[in-house]
């Protein structure tokens, strides 16, 4: 899948979002080194805190299928601003892919692409635990 296809896969997930509370859909498409792509959407909950972000849904799908070698993630939203990953999602990506490229999209489809290390400087990675 090329870059534009990865972005389109993230955008396509917006309609799968379950967002009755925030009405803020997010879609994600996570690309692995072997080219496999896992998608995700945000899934909200009446208890609010069980809500899971689109990025972490994609990571959970990937890891549970045996994939942890991530190279790029596209994150789509429907606002004027670029849809950047929240702090928790940055930390989850850091666990597996400190070198990952994060492609943030706005509603027009413009992109802001950043290395995770710029989004999460001094991130707490497994090396802090001697791993």
Using CB under 6 A as the criterion, which residues of the chain lie in contact with ligand THU when the complex forms? 19, 22, 24, 26, 42, 44, 51, 53-55, 85-86, 89
Question: In the bound complex, what is the minimum distance in angstroms from residue 20's beta carbon to ligand THU?
Answer: 10
Catalytic residue among 55, 65, 80, 95: 55
Check if 44 is active-site: no
CA distance 75 to 55: 7
Structural contact between residues 75 and 10, judged by C-beta atoms closer than 8 angstroms? yes
Identify which of residues 29 and 66 has a Cβ nearer to ligand THU in the complex. Answer: 29
Question: In the bound complex, what is the minimum distance in angstroms from residue 32's beta carbon to ligand THU?
Answer: 20
The CB-side HSE value for 16 (13 A sphere, CA atoms) comes to: 17
Question: In the bound complex, what is the minimum distance in angstroms from residue 130's beta carbon to ligand THU?
Answer: 29
Identify which of residues 34 and 118 has a Cβ nearer to ligand THU in the complex. Answer: 118
Distance from the Cα of residue 39 to its chain's centroid: 9
Question: In the bound complex, what is the minimum distance in angstroms from residue 33's beta carbon to ligand THU?
Answer: 23
Identify which of residues 103 and 131 has a Cβ nearer to ligand THU in the complex. Answer: 103
CA distance 11 to 14: 6
3-state SS class at 108? coil
Angle ∠(75,29,60) on CA atoms, nearest 5 = 105
- The catalytic site residues sit at 55
């Amino acid at each position: 899948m090329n870059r534009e296809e990865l972005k389109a896969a993230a955008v396509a997930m917006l309609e799968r979002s379950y967002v009755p509370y925030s009405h803020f859909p997010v879609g994600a498409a996570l690309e692995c080194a072997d080219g496999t792509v896992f998608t995700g959407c945000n899934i909200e909950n009446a208890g609010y805190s069980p809500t899971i972000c689109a990025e972490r849904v994609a990571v959970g799908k990937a890891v549970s299928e045996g994939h942890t070698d991530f190279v790029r993630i596209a994150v789509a939203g429907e606002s004027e601003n670029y849809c950047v990953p929240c702090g928790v999602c940055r930390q989850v990506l850091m666990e597996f892919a400190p070198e990952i490229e994060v492609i943030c999209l706005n509603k027009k489809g413009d992109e802001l692409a950043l290395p995770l290390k710029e989004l999460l400087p001094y991130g707490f990675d497994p090396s802090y635990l001697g791993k």
